[in-house]
Structure 1
Amino acid sequence: MAAQGMLSRKITCNSHGEDSSYFLGWKEYERNPYDETNNPTGIIQMGLAENQLSFDLLETWLSKNPKAATFMNNGSSLFKHMALFQDYHGLPSFKKALAEFMGEIRGNRVKIDAERLVLTAGATSANETLMFCLAEPGEAFLVPTPYYPGFDRDLKWRTGAEIIPIHCHSSNGFQLTEASLREAYDDAVNRKMKVKGVLVTNPSNPLGTTMSSSSLKVLLTFVGAKGIHLICDEIYSGTVFSSPSFISVTEEALLAECNVSKDCIHIVYSLSKDLGLPGFRVGVIYTCNDHVLAAATKMSSFGLVSSQTQYLLSKMLSDKKFTANYIAENRTRLRLRQKQFVSGLKRCGIGCLKSNAGLFCWVDLSSLLESPTFEGEMQLWMKMLHHVGINISPGSSFHCSEPGWFRVCFANMSEKVLSISLQRIKIFVKQSRDKQGKAPAMGPTKPAVSRKSLFTRWISRADSAESERF
């Protein structure tokens, strides 16, 4: 206790969010990770939104362009130049290539000005930097639910800013409405909080959906009328695999129609999802606000992207033949994988919110809850984690207002492991529904078995049928 008293209140408070079931599930997985050979009864990670479906395309490019990774150019080594001090504005060649890549993902309907990019160590750093720039401690941003659990850390922990949820519901597919925006704004005012802006993720994490033109117009009109900021986290913009297409809030026609100043619009982007490079820690802020641009650039010195990473990616993203092929092929692979996963769940009697983007599905498991409460949701999550051997993320960790929804990721594993996951789910669903009385009555009571042996038996049965496709 004495040792803790020597630390700052900022560090010892629990607003980081690491005790959320979202992060606790990761910890449980790390203690007992699935491995086909060494630990076939381990936990399969379906709670991590990682894109591993197109990694071979990146590796193929690297094998064909080895000089980019060894810092050779025209026979000369660039190692010393890369290793010495670099301006925190970033390498001009990388910012130019990144701006063009962002425009390409947006169908070239948006021209990104490289001079207005601020490089950050991932989207986490980008979102926090914008909070420091735009909000004083105690001031609020409105965020639609369900939202990424990391926002509680990214937006609030060190900045002191507050999140006011905009409650969205399944009755309209969790879409943002003018009424829900007004309700959240009035809630903040009643709590004597100054609202500085709205933050949305488009495409949505965890819904896997893109915002419609009408929803974006409602949002932009509201922001303009209130004179507040809009942060749009577009980290999943390159994962849109089917219609409707992605619309960025930076599109000129949209802004003109809604009479919103560009100074109030700020974009967050990263290469973690579209290129599947979270370990490279490449994030970016795009803003037309000169004051925000200057302040965010100063703050970026606390979370720089290494010059080596910038150099390598500048070469990769400048290869237009590669980027065009990657964007198209990655979307195709995501579409096929999502279709495989949704079809498998459907055969288990489980439905999902209709989605067209992202690395996950928003899955409705409410029929498996023992009670229609968030306590029932947590009980089901524990069963999935410890008995079924799958880590999925409860909707309550995303601040969803309805129990029974879970985010389940499908792009961070091989097709074989996905098949094993679906088989495990199928067995669990059947047993759960038998227990609910939707099957013939059970026979004589069997002797009790330990939790560990029950878990092992469940997993062994699932893995033995891994060849089955759903």
Structure 2
Amino acid sequence: MSLRKAGQDSHGQDSSYFLGWQEYEKNPYHPIQNPMGIIQMGLAENQLSFDLLKLWLRRNPDIVGLKKNGASLFRELALFQDYHGLPALKNELVEFMEKTRGSEMKFAPEKLVLTAGATPANEILVFCLADPGEAFILPTPYYPGFNRDLKWRTGVEIVPMQCSSSNGFRITSSALEQAYQQAQKMNLNVKGVLVTNPSNPLGITMTRSELNHLVDFAIHKNIHIVSDEIYSGTVFASPKFVSITGVLKERNSDNNIWNRIHIVYSLSKDLGIPGFRVGMIYSNNERVVSAATKMSSFGLVSSQTQYLVANLLMDKKFTSKYMEETQRRLKRRKEMLVCGLRNAGIQCLKSNAGLFCWVDMRHLLTSATFEAEKELWIKILYHVGLNISPGSSFHCCEPGWFRLCFANMSEDTLKVAMQRMKAFTHSTTFLLKAS
């Protein structure tokens, strides 16, 4: 890597989102060994159904031991290196995607490209669709890692599309148009819009109306849509998840727009296995699939992981029960967080998906500025001992919003976090009133 690339800050590692993690790692909370440590609420990990996965692994020792009908597959898997991926896994993945989307769409395995997680999937798509100096529009607030995933190596720019709390941070036609005009003023050629549905950090699913605005916009401007649907299986309350493909099917859209719609997906959030690095691109565009498949050779999913995950997904009875139970647990855990925050005098954006809540702490700011947001974040990190993520790290245009994760810790740890937050807000509110 050139020194120029190594020195660039477009990677985003200096964002408060990542700095909070570093502080947590220096002083992690443990109920017995370090009860005064920092509680990690900045990590969107789904650990709520690990017991079910462990049970499945115990019941399937042959698969874990890389065997089929008692015979070892070790040699076959150790030598297999075709970058098209194991057909069995691709077949299972498209079926799993169909089920998550209410079976409203049929997906074809030949249109799927395997990648080592959603991170390379997003980067590969940007490499395929845009040249250095061209741009993608992203609705704010958006995942801080996108600066790294979409810009760092590709040289492609991100144009933020400002969404506000006045309409619950929903996407509008006028906001899309405004972002497009902004890009033109900066002499940037817009190649597409990238959305995360369900949203990270908002924890909400996009409405049919928003998706239709998006499709209309893409048709009008002749650009692409990348729909990152990594949280599609975490929807735990109504309305149900609607994929961009479902909206296109309803509209009976022609091939021209179908060829410009691309889905990114992964098993990291829905199945809670981010360390397995199983991601994918799904596209109707043959040229994109062909180029992305070649590029995927720089980040392949290991053969033994492909074999294990294919067999896990083949067990339809297990995956159905797992998804149902996970969604039930996510809903309960989210309600615990919302209730704990309410007791501390803090409201959240109403949400129905994801592993986090978008939390309104504007009333705790000393002034309506990002400097005041940073001050509050530092206080909560160092004095309260909670690593939460400030809205500015998600490129939110309004100071005072924070993302709090709830699925990466035990119930007891979440209770401790809420007790700390309550004690903090009560003392802060008292001081704000006194001043």
Same fold (TM over 0.5): yes
What is the CA distance between 1:260 and its match in structure 2? 6.0
Identify the range of structure 1 (363-372 vs 163-172) with the bigger mean alpha-carbon deviation: 363-372
Alignment partner of 1:162 is 2:150: no
Partner of 1:191: 186
Q: 1:27 aligns with which of 22, 25, 28?
A: 22
- Distance (whole Å) between structure 2 residues aligned to residue 312 and residue 215 of structure 1: 37
Alignment partner of 1:254 is 2:270: no
Pairing 1:403-418 to 2, within 5 Å after superposition: 403-418=399-414
Alignment partner of 1:151 is 2:146: yes
Q: TM-score scaled by structure 2?
A: 0.98
- Distance (whole Å) between structure 1 residues aligned to residue 155 and residue 313 of structure 2: 37
Q: 2:130 aligns with which of 122, 128, 135?
A: 135
Alpha carbons 2:62, 2:70 under 8 Å: kept: no
Alpha carbons 1:138, 1:160 under 8 Å: kept: yes
Partner of 1:269: 265
Q: 2:364 aligns with which of 368, 374, 386?
A: 368
Q: Secondary structure at the match of 2:404?
A: strand
- Distance (whole Å) between structure 2 residues aligned to residue 270 and residue 142 of structure 1: 22
- Distance (whole Å) between structure 2 residues aligned to residue 189 and residue 436 of structure 1: 44
Partner of 1:228: 223
- Distance (whole Å) between structure 2 residues aligned to residue 282 and residue 210 of structure 1: 23
Alignment partner of 1:400 is 2:385: no
Identify the range of structure 1 (186-195 vs 154-163) with the bigger mean alpha-carbon deviation: 186-195
Alpha carbons 2:111, 2:283 under 8 Å: kept: yes
- Distance (whole Å) between structure 2 residues aligned to residue 7 and residue 92 of structure 1: 37
Aligned length: 434
Q: TM-score scaled by structure 1?
A: 0.91
User: What's the Cα RMSD here?
Assistant: 1.3
- Distance (whole Å) between structure 1 residues aligned to residue 171 and residue 9 of structure 2: 30
- Distance (whole Å) between structure 1 residues aligned to residue 284 and residue 253 of structure 2: 18
2:161 corresponds to which letter in structure 1? I
Alignment partner of 1:78 is 2:73: yes
1:174 corresponds to which letter in structure 2? F
Partner of 2:174: 179
Alpha carbons 1:217, 1:254 under 8 Å: kept: no
Percentage of pairs with the same residue: 62
What is the CA distance between 1:258 and its match in structure 2? 8.8
Q: Secondary structure at the match of 2:82?
A: coil
1:383-402 deviation line (CA, Å, top 9, x unaligned): 01000000000000000000
What is the CA distance between 1:357 and its match in structure 2? 0.3
Alpha carbons 1:220, 1:260 under 8 Å: kept: no
Q: 2:48 aligns with which of 50, 53, 63?
A: 53
Partner of 1:320: 316
Partner of 2:87: 92
- Distance (whole Å) between structure 2 residues aligned to residue 435 and residue 228 of structure 1: 51
Alignment partner of 1:310 is 2:300: no
1:296-332 deviation line (CA, Å, top 9, x unaligned): 0000000000000000000000001011111111111
- Distance (whole Å) between structure 2 residues aligned to residue 261 and residue 223 of structure 1: 8
1:32 corresponds to which letter in structure 2? N
Alignment partner of 1:42 is 2:42: no
Alpha carbons 1:249, 1:255 under 8 Å: kept: no
- Distance (whole Å) between structure 1 residues aligned to residue 254 and residue 141 of structure 2: 26
- Distance (whole Å) between structure 1 residues aligned to residue 319 and residue 186 of structure 2: 48
2:78 corresponds to which letter in structure 1? A
- Distance (whole Å) between structure 1 residues aligned to residue 18 and residue 227 of structure 2: 24
Alpha carbons 1:217, 1:258 under 8 Å: kept: no
1:364-386 deviation line (CA, Å, top 9, x unaligned): 01111112100000000000100
- Distance (whole Å) between structure 1 residues aligned to residue 254 and residue 287 of structure 2: 23
What is the CA distance between 1:8 and its match in structure 2? 3.2
Partner of 1:200: 195
- Distance (whole Å) between structure 2 residues aligned to residue 57 and residue 142 of structure 1: 39
1:29 corresponds to which letter in structure 2? Y
What is the CA distance between 1:99 and its match in structure 2? 1.0
1:118 corresponds to which letter in structure 2? V
Pairing 1:339-350 to 2, within 5 Å after superposition: 339-350=335-346
What is the CA distance between 1:108 and its match in structure 2? 0.8
1:342-372 deviation line (CA, Å, top 9, x unaligned): 0111111100000000000000011111121
Pair member with larger Rg:
1
Partner of 1:378: 374
Q: Secondary structure at the match of 1:261?
A: helix
1:273 corresponds to which letter in structure 2? K
1:113 corresponds to which letter in structure 2? A
Alpha carbons 1:255, 1:261 under 8 Å: kept: no
- Distance (whole Å) between structure 1 residues aligned to residue 2 and residue 232 of structure 2: 40
2:361 corresponds to which letter in structure 1? L
Partner of 2:327: 331
- Distance (whole Å) between structure 1 residues aligned to residue 217 and residue 374 of structure 2: 36
Alpha carbons 2:52, 2:322 under 8 Å: kept: yes
- Distance (whole Å) between structure 2 residues aligned to residue 277 and residue 20 of structure 1: 25
Alpha carbons 2:233, 2:323 under 8 Å: kept: yes
Alignment partner of 1:214 is 2:214: no
2:41 corresponds to which letter in structure 1? M
Alpha carbons 1:106, 1:246 under 8 Å: kept: yes
Q: 2:5 aligns with which of 10, 28, 38?
A: 10
What is the CA distance between 1:72 and its match in structure 2? 1.1
1:180-224 deviation line (CA, Å, top 9, x unaligned): 000000111111110000000000000000000011001101101
Q: 1:125 aligns with which of 117, 120, 134?
A: 120
Q: Secondary structure at the match of 1:327?
A: helix
Q: 2:291 aligns with which of 281, 289, 295?
A: 295
1:217-265 deviation line (CA, Å, top 9, x unaligned): 0110110111100000000000000011100011253352698621000
